[in-house]
Chain A
């Protein structure tokens, strides 16, 4: 599984990264968590507001920080 955190690296992006790592750890799944800071790559996803979370190519949220429970749910759905 590939989880991507889209954003330029501000505190919100870091928080989202942190929550994603916690969710992956708690679920015990094998997932690669990648930070995407390149604006062109972010735009390629159609994301206009950051931070954003992408799970296996599907943008799950943009412009806000989801709860860990929401992130867990998205991971479990895959």
Chain B
């Protein structure tokens, strides 16, 4: 819950509820980001159940971030179902997590949490990495 309704950006975080390792990692990332004050984890299932408080909170939040375990994209689709487009959507299988295989470790949770805090989408990260690679290959004397 936001402490004050007048100050600070409201960022709500919706992890998917998946049964696989990907769902567990999404859940742990959301809890870590909440603990660190980056945003507030909220209940995706309640949005899906059309519980008015959760639906209206999604519509009223300044940012809604979905963290889906895989490309089925349940969290994003549930928000879109109520007419809300997430500000940022993350899919863990596009972020070095393999469904059914990647173990749920503090390391992977920290790594992805940091990426989310930087606000990089997987596409932006790829572009940033490509930019870095291009610079490192540059052989002109002005670099």
A residues within 8 Å of B by Cβ? Answer: 7-8, 10-13, 39, 42-43, 45-52, 58-64
Contacts and interface: CB of A to CB of B under 8 A. Distances in A.
B59 to A, nearest CB: 7
B135 interface: no
Interface stretch (B4-12, B20-28, B94-102, B121-129): B4-12
Nearest to A43: B1
A11 B54 contact: no
Interface of B: 1-6, 10, 12, 40, 42-43, 46, 51-57, 59-62
Given A46-B51, A46-B53, A48-B42, A61 B60 contact: yes
Given A12-B5, A63-B62, 14 more contacts: A48-B10, A48-B40, A48-B53, A49-B57, A50-B2, A52-B53, A52-B57, A52-B60, A59-B52, A59-B55, A61-B60, A62-B57, A63-B57, A63-B61
20 contacts: A10-B6, A39-B1, A45-B52, A47-B53, A48-B2, A48-B12, A48-B53, A48-B54, A49-B2, A49-B5, A49-B57, A49-B61, A51-B5, A59-B53, A59-B55, A60-B52, A61-B59, A62-B53, A63-B5, A63-B59
Nearest to A61: B56
B5 A47 contact: no
Contacts, number: 76
Nearest to B10: A49
A59 to B, nearest CB: 4
A3 to B, nearest CB: 14
B3 A46 contact: no
Contact of A63 (B3, B42, B56): B56
Contacts of A45: 52-53
A58 B22 CA distance: 34
Contact of A59 (B4, B5, B6, B56): B56
A6 to B, nearest CB: 9
The list of the 4 closest CB pairs from A to B, nearest first, reads: A63-B60, A46-B53, A59-B52, A48-B57
Contacts of B56: 47, 52, 59-63
